[in-house]
Amino acid sequence: MKTGIDYPGITLAFYCHNGAGKFLMNLRGRNSRDEHGRWDIGAGGLEFGYGVEHTLRTEVKEEYGTDVLDYSFLGFRELHRQHEGQPTHWIALDFKVRVDPSKVKNGEPHKFDKVSWFTLESIPKPVHSQFYNFLEKYRALLTDDREKRVELAEILGKAIHERLVGTELLKGSGETTHEFNDENLRHSDVNFAKMSAYDILDMLRRDGYEIIKRP
């Protein structure tokens, strides 16, 4: 009985990224099971008796030599291919995994000819037959979180600063209402204009402020 041929196999596919727009791919060598000479993200089969998270962490460590810093489940795919003339059926559980780039290495040089970093704008060729299937399904979820957060924070920081001017804020329940305006903002120890949206909101939330009226 062969996994993926006589019965569906389960594999974990992992898109390992550095949190700054780059992700890992490996160049499959002649000792890889199939798709030789093609670039792919990481993957490993789920074996009987082992949990999904355990397998994910183990496979990332084996292939890329680094620990999982954090991860998110993207979804699953049904993969139907031909391997050595036989139809195969695999279920892929797909994950987005953040790793420490300083610790990444080719953990399986007998299988991979090379391990390298890429961006979604610099994908190498040729790639694994299922890679674009993965990319098409999850592209919106793969866009770098930090870059989006920084850009959003810069935009919202300015917007929130403008919104704060003339806005009444209530501190706690039934306490005095404080009004933010250009005059007291200029004399404040806090420079809202230079703070990100997240910093502003976190500061207000820590101080117990709640916006009760907008200009």
Confidence of residue 215 (pLDDT cuts 50, 70, 90): very low
Q: Are the CB atoms for 164 and 215 separated by under 8 Å?
A: no
Q: Is residue 35 part of a domain?
A: yes
User: Which tokens sit at 153?
Assistant: 């924070």
Range of the domain at 166: 147-213
Give the rounded percent of residues in the chain with a pLDDT score beyond 70. 67
Last residue of some domain: 124, 143, 162? Answer: 143
Instruction: Kindly state whether residues 95 and 107 are assigned to the same domain.
Output: yes
If you average pLDDT over residues 74-98, what whole number do you get?
92
Same domain, 106 and 177: no
Arithmetic mean of pLDDT, 49-66: 97
User: Whole-number mean pLDDT of the chain?
Assistant: 80
The answer to whether residues 201 and 99 belong to one domain is no
Q: Which residues of 138-148 are buried (b: 16+ CB within 10 A; e: fewer)?
A: beeebebbeee
Please say whether the dihedral angle defined by the alpha carbons of residues 123, 129, 130 and 136, taken in this order, is positive or negative. Answer: positive
Say yes or no to pLDDT of 171 above 50. no
Which of the listed ranges 83-92, 113-122, 148-157 does the model predict with the highest average pLDDT? 113-122
